[in-house]
Amino acid sequence: MSDFQDLISKLKKKNDSKIVLLVADGLGGLPLEPGGKTELETANTPNLDALAQRGTLGLSTPVLPGITPGSGPGHLGLFGYDPVKYQIGRGVLEALGIDFDLGPNDVAIRGNFCTLDDAGSIEDRRAGRISSEKAAPLCEKLNDIKIPGVEVFVRHVKEYRLVVVFRGEGLGGDVDDTDPQATGVPPLDPNPRNEAAKKTVEVAQEFLKQARELLKDDRPANFLTLRGIAKRPDIPTYEEVYGLKTGAVAVYPMYRGLARLVGMDVLDAGQTLDDQCSRLEAAWKDYDFFFMHFKYTDSTGEDGNFDAKVQRIEELDAAIPRITALNPDVLMVTGDHSTPSKMKSHSWHPVPTLLAANNCRYDNSTEFSESACLRGGLGQFEAKYLMSLAMANAGRLEKYGA
């Protein structure tokens, strides 16, 4: 544990309070023109605005000022883990997200099917977003690859995405990706970042050699790239740090994997926000803390579709009454990072954050927006401290010192 988590662990205490963390992925935005409104400010959000009036607002920094986070670091910060100390490979998250039981001798890899042209250069990094129906049999084909001294597991995730796991003694996880993040160039070679990863590179090279032969006639998915090559880190659980029994209501594999990584029970959440709310209601008596994830504020931002992101925020707002009807003692609404439609990507901008609780200090906010959060009572703070604020407002922390 970090020193901060160690302190929280020593101060934690039990009670019957309920805490909900609602993460609208990529929530923060930017106006399209100077002086304009962000997506959140444009959206009609009567329920979030009403919640702001009985809560307190602020802006959370996912990692550090000016650092643009991926979804992994962004969520770890919200969970109260220092995202600089705990660096989690994408392969680990994808594997855990599909319920693969990663062991201590496993190296997990996120794979993307891709299209190679006749010269061996990447024509399409996602193989035309091949359907799951076409990709799953290709994963079964790759699962037959044999490498002496190592077990190889290949599992389909969704569409063009897959997980590859190497299991064996002496494997290290610090290996560079083979995806060059560009087209018109060949895939990169896997390169070790330290001595311990050299054996993993040898295994990866042999795997890719056999994969190229197996997939050569399967255009558009005639090869794959390897990303997020890593081993499962040693990380304290929510129970150890906070003393909370936790449930995750998430749909996408990566976010389910993040939840499982920190010891949350991952609940079957269906496919829609309505399904997620129903699952939250059904499990309400069974857990102290719920992590609820909403993806589409991020994907619409990455598409550069301002209006669609506004619509998704309004969809989220419409679900708020079902959550507040459960009377959580603490309800937090925020994002893991900002994804402005104007930029079509994740960004470094601080994220709008709302905390509503009976004991919070109200700050006279009348709406939930970036501009209101800039003036809010929480101020600007590192996201890793949100959980200690939640614990305090839930009455789950003892006094520190005499």
Give the single-character DSSP code of 25.
Answer: T
Q: For residues 324 and 297, give the distance between their C-alpha atoms in angstroms, rounded to a whole number.
A: 21
Q: How many CB atoms sit inside 10 A of residue 314's CB? A: 16
Looking at residue 318, what DSSP letter applies? H
CA atoms in the 13 A half-sphere facing the CB of 24: 29
Q: What is the pLDDT of residue 252?
A: 86
Q: Please name every residue paired with 265 in a beta bridge, in sequence order, or none if there are none.
A: 247
Residue 1 has pLDDT above 80, yes or no: no
Q: In this predicted model, what pLDDT tens digit does every residue of 306-321 receive, in sequence order?
A: 999 999 999 999 999 9
| Structural element, H or E, at residue 112 | strand 106-116
Rounded distance, CA 390 to CA 142, Å?
45
Residue range 3-86+236-393, CATH number: 3.40.720.10
Pairing of strands 223-230, 106-116: antiparallel
- What are the extents of the domains in the chain? 3-86+236-393, 93-230
Output the six-digit token pair for 72. 């992994």
- Give 63's Cβ-side CA count (13 Å radius): 19
Nearest 5 degrees, angle CA 34-CA 39-CA 43? Answer: 125
Task: Quote the CA–CA distance of 342 and 301 in Å, as a whole number.
Answer: 8
Closest C-alpha to 106, from 55, 171, 62? 171
Average pLDDT over residues 174-181: 93
What is the rounded CA–CA span in Å between residue 27 and residue 60?
Answer: 11
- Chain segment 262-306, per-residue pLDDT in tens: 999 999 888 899 999 999 999 999 999 999 999 999 989 998 999
High-pLDDT (> 90) share of the chain, %: 86
Question: In the 8-state DSSP scheme, what is residue 15?
Answer: -
What is the structure's pLDDT at 374? 97
Note the pLDDT of residue 33: 94
d(CA 48, CA 50): 5
- The residue-averaged pLDDT of 115-142 equals 95
Q: State the residue for tokens 């200690």.
A: 388
**SS3 state at 333:** strand
* Mean model confidence pLDDT for the chain: 94
Helix (H) or strand (E) holding 173: none
CA nearest to 110, candidates 91, 124, 128: 91
